[in-house]
Structure formats: structure tokens, C-alpha cells
Amino acid sequence: MNARDDELIQAAREVRQRSYSPYSGFAVGAALRGKSGKIYTGTNVENASYPLTICAERAAVCKALSEGEQEFEALAVVSRTGATPCGACRQVLAEFGTDIRVLIADAHACLGAHTVAELLPHGFDRSKLA
């Protein structure tokens, strides 16, 4: 852990407060640092039709892409339990780099750090399309 990691986790904690999670009550915040150094945040947005829910991690990725950033260094994910990203989020992150560091935290501490490759071994990528 370093000051940049702390900053990323704090940004995820702050955006988590804006989660729209009336069905599960499981608020998640994510903060994604681009190679430019800029931080993009996202929170989970639930829907009464559950499959339409968007995860915090994918919300942060979409925000970064919509602002022109496509290369990423690290992602912090904060939830009540310190949950890791779901499979869909892992796959989306892998599209942009298996070396992205993923910091997992709860409201009080960082619980661990992994690379996308560690979270998604043998993931599907463009090489599988040939």
C-alpha cells in the first residue's frame, strides 16, 4: 500500500455512498486510475429487473472510456464485506489489461491486492477470436 492506493480506496469509499442499491442493500464503490493518473469512479446501480443492474467496476470503466482513457493502472473496490469483482467485471477489466492491480477494501481497511490475471486465470481475450 502507498499514498496512491490510499487515494484510490478513499475515492471508492466516497462514491459508494451514492450507490443505488434499494433491492440488495449491497452498496459498492469503485475507483479506477488511468495511466494518465486521473481517477474515474463508479457505483452499482440496481434495477427492479435484476439482470439490468450495472456493477460499480463496469460503471467506472465506462466512465473512463467515455472520457477517452483506455489504459489503466489500478482499481479499488469497496463494499461492506470486501467482495471481489464479479466474473463479468473481471472479464471487462481483462479487456484492458491483465496487469491492472485490483485493491479490495471494506469501510475500514484494504483487505488485499490482486492483478486481473490472478482474479481471472485463463480469461477469454482477442487471441481466442482467431
Whether residue 67 has pLDDT greater than 90: yes
Q: Which of 7, 57, 73, 118 is catalytic?
A: 57
DSSP string, 49-88: SGGG-B-HHHHHHHHHHHTT---EEEEEEEESS-PPPPHH
The position carrying cell 470486501 is 82
Q: Is the pTM of this model over 0.85?
A: yes
DSSP string, 27-49: -EEEEEEETTS-EEEEE-B--SS
The pLDDT tens digits of the residues spanning 70-126 come to: 999 999 999 999 999 999 999 999 999 999 999 999 999 999 999 999 999 999 988
CATH superfamily of 3-129: Cytidine Deaminase, domain 2 (3.40.140.10)
- Domains of the chain, by residue range, sit at 3-129
The pLDDT tens digits of the residues spanning 6-62 come to: 999 999 999 999 999 999 999 999 999 999 999 999 999 999 999 999 999 999 999
Query: Active site includes 95?
Result: no
Residue 1, pLDDT score: 75
Cα atoms in the 13 Å half-sphere on the side-chain side of 119: 26
Residue 56, pLDDT score: 98
Residue 127, pLDDT score: 87
Residue 54, pLDDT score: 98
